Amino acid sequence: MGKILILNGSPRAPRSNSKAYAQWFTQVCPTETETYAITRDNHLELCRAMENCDHLLLVFPLYADGIPVTLLNFLKTLEENPPQHKPTVSVLINCGFLEPEQSEVAISMVELFCEQNSYPFGSVLSIGSGEAILNTPFRGLVGRKLKQLAASMTRRQGRRLKVTMPLPKKLFLRASTTYWENYGKRNGITRAQMETMDIEI
Ligand SMILES: Cc1cc2nc3c(=O)[nH]c(=O)nc-3n(C[C@H](O)[C@H](O)[C@H](O)COP(=O)(O)O)c2cc1C
Structural contact between residues 31 and 3, judged by C-beta atoms closer than 8 angstroms: yes
Rounded to two decimals, the pTM is: 0.95
User: Cβ(104) to ligand 1 under 6 A?
Assistant: no
Q: Mapping DSSP to helix (H, G, I), strand (E, B) and coil, where does residue 34 land?
A: strand
Sheet holding 121-127, edge to edge: 33-37, 4-8, 55-61, 88-94, 121-127, 160-163
Give the distance (Å) from ligand 1 centre to CA of residue 49.
27
User: Cβ(65) to ligand 1 under 6 A?
Assistant: yes
- From first to last of its 201 residues, the chain has per-residue pLDDT tens of 689 999 999 999 899 999 999 999 999 999 999 999 999 999 999 999 999 899 999 999 999 999 999 999 999 999 999 999 999 999 999 999 999 999 999 999 999 999 999 999 999 999 999 999 999 999 999 999 999 999 999 999 999 999 999 999 999 999 999 988 999 999 999 999 888 887 664
Q: Which atom of ligand 1 is nearest to the CA of 62?
A: 17
Q: How far apart are CA 109 and CA 167, in angstroms?
A: 28
Q: Which parts of the chain fold into alpha helices (H)?
A: 17-28, 43-49, 69-80, 104-117, 139-154, 169-186, 191-194
User: Cβ(94) to ligand 1 under 6 A?
Assistant: yes
